[in-house]
Amino acid sequence: MSQYEGELVREAPYLTPQAKTEILQVLTFLESFGDELDGLMEISAPNPYVKMSTYLVKRHLEAKAVTPTSLIGASGVPYATASRRLREMIDSGLIEQRPRTASGRSFSLHPSAKMLEEWKQFSSRVRRLAAQSFGTEDRRADTQDYYFGGSYLEAQTIQPPQVLLEPLKLSGGLRVLVHGDPTFMVMHGLKRQFEQVVGCSIQQRAFSIDRLHEEAVKNALRTTSRYDLIAFDLPWVGEFAEKGYLLPLDEILDIERLNPSDFHTAGWQAAHWGGQPYGVPSQTTPELLFYRKDLLAEAGLEPPHSTDAVLNVAAELHEPAMGRYGIAWNAARGTALGHTFMTTCADFGQPILDLPKQAGGYDASRLAGADYRPTIDTDLGLAAAEYLMALLQYSPPDILSMSWYERVRPFANGRVAMAYGYTLLAPYFEQNPSCAAYGKVGYLPHPSGPNAANIAPVGGYLLGIPANIAPERLAAATEALIVFTSPEAQKLYVEHGSRTNPRYSVGADPEVRRLSPIFEAVDGMSWRDELQFWPRPPVPEINDIIRICGEECHDMLRGVQSPKAALQAAQDRADRLLREAGKL
**N-terminal to C-terminal alpha carbon distance within the chain:** 39
Residue 152: inside a domain: no
Give me the half-sphere count of Cα atoms (radius 13 Å) on the Cβ side of residue 512: 32
Whether 570 and 445 map to the same domain: the answer is yes
Residue 527: inside a domain: no
Whether 436 and 481 map to the same domain: the answer is no
Amino acid making up residue 359: A
CB 240 within 8 A of CB 544: no
Whether 412 and 352 map to the same domain: the answer is yes
Residue 144: inside a domain: no
The residue out of 110, 134, 158 marking a domain boundary is 134
Whether 423 and 562 map to the same domain: the answer is yes
Whether 338 and 192 map to the same domain: the answer is no
Residue 6: inside a domain: no
Encode pLDDT of 544-560 as tens digits. 999 999 999 999 999 99
Specify the number of domains making up the chain.
3
Q: How far is CA 315 from CA 4, 58, 176, 326, 450, in A?
A: 59, 57, 45, 6, 19
Residue 270: inside a domain: yes
State the CATH number of the domain containing residue 29.
Answer: 1.10.10.10
CA 12 to CA 198: how far, in whole Å? 11
Question: What is the model's pLDDT at position 113?
Answer: 79
Whether 352 and 377 map to the same domain: the answer is yes
CA 98 to CA 134: how far, in whole Å? 41
CB 102 within 8 A of CB 172: no
Q: Are strands 416-422 and 276-277 parallel, antiparallel or unpaired?
A: unpaired
Residue 492 structural domain: 174-284+459-514
Q: What is the enclosing helix (H) or strand (E) of 441? A: strand 441-444
CB 504 within 8 A of CB 264: yes
Rg (CA), the chain: 27
Residue 139: inside a domain: no
Whether 484 and 362 map to the same domain: the answer is no
237 φ, ψ (degrees, to nearest 5): -55, -50
Residue 1: inside a domain: no
Task: Read off the pTM.
Answer: 0.74
Q: Give strand ranges (E) for 85-139.
A: 95-99, 107-111
Q: What is the enclosing helix (H) or strand (E) of 197? A: helix 191-198
Amino acid making up residue 234: L
CB 63 within 8 A of CB 196: yes
Q: How far is CA 327 from CA 8, 139, 289, 305, in A?
A: 51, 45, 10, 15
Whether 70 and 17 map to the same domain: the answer is yes
Give me the half-sphere count of Cα atoms (radius 13 Å) on the Cβ side of residue 490: 30
Whether 103 and 66 map to the same domain: the answer is yes
DSSP state of 378: S
Whether 444 and 314 map to the same domain: the answer is yes
CA 291 to CA 469: how far, in whole Å? 44
Whether 309 and 347 map to the same domain: the answer is yes
Where the chain has pLDDT below 50, the residues are 1-13, 136-155
User: In the beta sheet, which residues pair with residue 205?
Assistant: 177
User: In the beta sheet, which residues pair with residue 175?
Assistant: 203
Neighbours of 331 (CB within 10 A): 26
Residue 163: inside a domain: no
Question: What is the model's pLDDT at position 119?
Answer: 82
Question: What is the model's pLDDT at position 37?
Answer: 66
CA 389 to CA 536: how far, in whole Å? 21
State the CATH number of the domain containing residue 180.
Answer: 3.40.190.10
Quote the crossing angle between the two packed helices 48-61 and 17-38, to the nearest 10°: 140
Whether 293 and 398 map to the same domain: the answer is yes
